[in-house]
Structures are given as structure tokens and as C-alpha cells.
């Protein structure tokens, strides 16, 4: 009985350790998030509609990654990706509706 409790405890502890390891982002996680963001930023750049906040988020991501703070780095890269997506949506929408604001 006692052994079974200890085994269960060990399993739980190991699972807890695994969970902790899973939540800590690695350099590879950052590289992956950064590559995803870069691909979207490239599209925004092609539309000549990058936002300065996107660039700032990517810089923050790199700075955090250089300091070994990969959780923070991934978060900033994901933020940059979201901002780049929003700027693309803005450009696409404006291409359709800019004439609504025209002085006639």
C-alpha cells in the first residue's frame, strides 16, 4: 500500500516536472514563432503596410531571445505575428473602401 502511494506520488511529481518543462519555451520554440511572424511580416511589407509596433515587437522578441528569455521572446514574436496579420487585413479592407472618404 505504502509503495503504491509512493509510486503514485513519484508519477505525479514526474508529471509535474514534465508540465513545467513543457511551459518553458526553448530556443527552437522562439525560432519557430519568429519564422512564422517573419512570413506574415513579409506579406505586410509587400503591401507597403507594416506597422511600427510590429517591428518593435520583433525587436523585443530578439532582445528577449538573446537574453535567453524564451517565454518572453515567443510571446513578443506571437504579438508581432498578430499585428502583421492586422495590418494586412487593414490594407485589404482599405483597398476596397478608401473611396468612401473621398471629397466629391
Least Å distance, CB 78 to other proteins, is 16
Q: Which is nearer to other proteins, 4 or 96 (CB)?
A: 96
C-beta separation of 76 from 58 below 8 A = yes
Tell me the CA distances in angstroms from 48 to 39, 43, 104, one per residue in order. Answer: 15, 9, 27
Least Å distance, CB 104 to other proteins, is 5
- All three cell numbers of 68, joined, read 535567453
Q: Which is nearer to other proteins, 10 or 95 (CB)?
A: 95
Site for other proteins in 30-59 (CB under 8 A): 48-55
Q: What letter does residue 24 receive in the DSSP assignment? A: S
Q: Which is nearer to other proteins, 55 or 60 (CB)?
A: 55
Amino acid at each position: 500500500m505504502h509503495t503504491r502511494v509512493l509510486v503514485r506520488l513519484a508519477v505525479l511529481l514526474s508529471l509535474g516536472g514534465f508540465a513545467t518543462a513543457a511551459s518553458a519555451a526553448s530556443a527552437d520554440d522562439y525560432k519557430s514563432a519568429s519564422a512564422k511572424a517573419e512570413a506574415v511580416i513579409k506579406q505586410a511589407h509587400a503591401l507597403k503596410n507594416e506597422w511600427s509596433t510590429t517591428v518593435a515587437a520583433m525587436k523585443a522578441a530578439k532582445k528577449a531571445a538573446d537574453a535567453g528569455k524564451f517565454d518572453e521572446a515567443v510571446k513578443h514574436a506571437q504579438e508581432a505575428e498578430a499585428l502583421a496579420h492586422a495590418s494586412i487585413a487593414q490594407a485589404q479592407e482599405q483597398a476596397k473602401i478608401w473611396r468612401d472618404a473621398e471629397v466629391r
